[in-house]
Amino acid sequence: MRRPDGSVIATLDVGRIRRRHGEGVRLLSRPALLGLLAEALPAGTVRFGSVVADPVALADGYDVVVGADGIRSATRAAMFGDRYPLRYAGVTAWRGTVPLDVPAGGETWGRGRKFGVTPQASGVTNWYAAVAAPEAV
């Protein structure tokens, strides 16, 4: 992590992580992770679009539900109701990918803003930017 002038705020010793845990840091895109998880299961195990009858019993008899239906999730509403309302975090963010191979990830932190890159597979780099911003109406 760096400041806008390039001075270092903090570093991550990936070698130490590898020595301690036997593996370094790996970054995966969400689609890549979803693909790996789905490939590890028998064919037909993953089903999309199932209706949740209630948080305990699924209408089609499955044992597990993964609610990945977005910020205004029907699964979240079924599980928690109004107990945990959405709350603005005070940040607006953008992200994207570019066909660029970077050797390592990093972030630059400024007052109320952040920009970073993370290398992905096959010469693709993920970039992201975030700025403090008032909640939009």
Specify whether the CB–CB gap between 59 and 53 falls below 8 A: yes
Residue 98 φ/ψ, nearest 5 degrees: -135, 150
Task: With CA atoms as reference, report the closest residue to 92 among 109, 112, 76.
Answer: 112
Residue 68, domain member (yes or no) = no
Specify whether the CB–CB gap between 104 and 11 falls below 8 A: no
pLDDT in tens, 102-137: 988 899 999 999 999 998 878 899 999 999 999 986
pLDDT in tens, 82-100: 898 888 999 999 999 999 9
Domain span at residue 108 reads 1-27+88-137
Residue 42, domain member (yes or no) = no
C-alpha distances in angstroms, 56 versus 22, 52, 53, 125? Answer: 38, 9, 8, 40
Counting Cβ atoms within 10 Å, is residue 33 exposed (0-12), middle (13-18) or buried (19+)?
exposed
Residue 54, domain member (yes or no) = no
Instruction: Note the pTM of the prediction, 2 decimals.
Output: 0.69
Highest mean pLDDT among 19-23, 33-37, 72-76, 110-114: 110-114
> Considering its fold, how many domains does the chain have in total?
1
Cα–Cα distance for residue pair 45/64, rounded to 1 Å: 11
Residue 108, domain member (yes or no) = yes
Residue 7, domain member (yes or no) = yes
Print burial letters for 59-91: b (CB count within 10 Å at least 16), e (below 16). Answer: eeeeeebeeeeeeeeeeeeeeeeeeeeeeeeee
